[in-house]
Amino acid sequence: MIPFNRPPYTGREDEHVLAAMRSSKMSGDGDYTKRCHDWFEEQVGCKKALLTPSCTQALEMAALLLDIQPGDEVIMPSYTFVSTANAFVLRGAKIVFVDIRPDTMNIDERLIEAAITAKTKVIVPVHYAGVACEMDSIMALAEKHSLYVVEDAAQGMMSTYKGRALGSIGHLASYSFHETKNYTSGGEGGVLLINDERFVARAEIIREKGTNRSQFWRGMVDKYTWVDVGSSYLPSELQAAYLYGQLEVAGQINTARRAIWSRYQAAFAAFEGKGLERPVIPVGCEHNAHMYYLKLCSLQQRSAFIDSLKARGVMAVFHYVPLHSSPCGAQWGEFKGDDVFTTSESERLVRLPIWYGMDEATQDAVIESVRHALKVA
């Protein structure tokens, strides 16, 4: 069986995880966490990076930092992971879903303004498949209406928009290091990226159970105490050490993934328009090959396609069921405008196996199975 994903692993993780295990500090914010923070601050160019146990928790921290109150409205696509919405629902927000663009599956920036009301507080663009949303338009809208932007860049590490790293553009942003993403901190993990300096001090407090412990360690206060709401949003040093082994070779991982992605893209060029659509990368966007997907003609055809691949030992999978069609999405969210593309495009999309270290023979087997499936589907 050819799996859909294998967690990224380079071999460099071992020495770092062992070093963390044998050090005198395995709890959060040790040496490896600091090294990771420095890497992100330098590479992304954010004011502050804070590792979290998951991207979900980085998004929860964002909602706390923005002081989301019951009744506040948060605009996002319906075609996203549940955590994008849940982080804000936990604070009592109402989720306002806007339709996506069919070319990138990202929120349609031209539809956002019509969804803004006096209660709107945040726009959450999700960079699907590591391909950037139209951030210039989104940031201009946010400025015009005094809104915050939280980039859900869970899939977007190492991607850029007009030369700028995804995660460096909104007021706040997050990456995920879940094992299904391009880089992992040992199965689960995330990072909160802070681009607006005003949030840095409070973020450190919220992440440390509502205490000013970080300031205490830096000698800025003479005792540490409970000063705000908070939770425990620190990953262990073992997670940071695992991630650090991958950050050291982040460019190499990115290059390898892009080569696999480009090989798929070339292999299916001849099918474009003949019952198959390939991904579109807009001008100005450099992507990280997080995902390789195809779009078929219909839900029925996609099911037959997935079955055909499965019969040949290839795991291909569909993706999000739009949140507004879920029980909780209906309860806490509202779709503004028409659902022209969200449901119809999501039903046609299927993701092919891709992982760091996938060899050409394995990829050729997938390509061959896809060619076969297209004949029978």
Ligand X SMILES: *Cc1c(COP(=O)(O)O)cnc(C)c1O
Which residues of this protein are in contact with ligand X, per CB under 6 A?
A: 54-56, 80-81, 83-84, 126, 152, 154-155, 176, 178, 190
Q: Is 74 helix (H, G, I), strand (E, B) or coil?
A: strand
Minimum Å distance from CB 52 to ligand X? 8
Least Cα distance to 200 among 177, 225, 171, 221 occurs for: 171
Minimum Å distance from CB 157 to ligand X? 11
Minimum Å distance from CB 153 to ligand X? 8
Q: Where are the alpha helices (DSSP H) in the chain?
A: 13-22, 31-43, 55-65, 82-89, 135-144, 200-207, 213-217, 237-247, 250-267, 299-311, 327-332, 342-346, 360-376
Minimum Å distance from CB 314 to ligand X? 22
CB-wise, 83 or 104, nearer to ligand X?
83
Minimum Å distance from CB 168 to ligand X? 17
Minimum Å distance from CB 373 to ligand X? 26
CB-wise, 98 or 154, nearer to ligand X?
154
CB-wise, 81 or 293, nearer to ligand X?
81
Instruction: Report which residue type is found at 109.
Output: E
CA-to-CA distance for 65 and 375, rounded, in angstroms? 52
Least Cα distance to 182 among 249, 99, 111 occurs for: 249
CB-wise, 56 or 363, nearer to ligand X?
56
Q: Is 276 helix (H, G, I), strand (E, B) or coil?
A: strand
DSSP state letters, 22-52: HSS--SSSSHHHHHHHHHHHHHT--SEEEEE
Distances (CA, A) of 119 to 140, 276, 324: 18, 41, 20
Minimum Å distance from CB 322 to ligand X? 13
CB-wise, 33 or 80, nearer to ligand X?
80
CB-wise, 184 or 308, nearer to ligand X?
184
Q: Residue 130: phi, psi to the nearest 5? A: 75, 15
Whether residue 368 contacts residue 296, with contact meaning beta carbons closer than 8 Å, is answered with no
CB-wise, 240 or 377, nearer to ligand X?
240
Question: Residue written as tokens 């997935």?
Answer: 306
Least Cα distance to 157 among 127, 185, 136 occurs for: 127
Distances (CA, A) of 255 to 162, 260, 321: 19, 9, 30
Whether residue 27 contacts residue 233, with contact meaning beta carbons closer than 8 Å, is answered with no
CB-wise, 206 or 374, nearer to ligand X?
206
CB-wise, 62 or 154, nearer to ligand X?
154
Minimum Å distance from CB 82 to ligand X? 8
Minimum Å distance from CB 81 to ligand X? 4
DSSP state letters, 228-260: S---B----HHHHHHHHHHHTTHHHHHHHHHHH
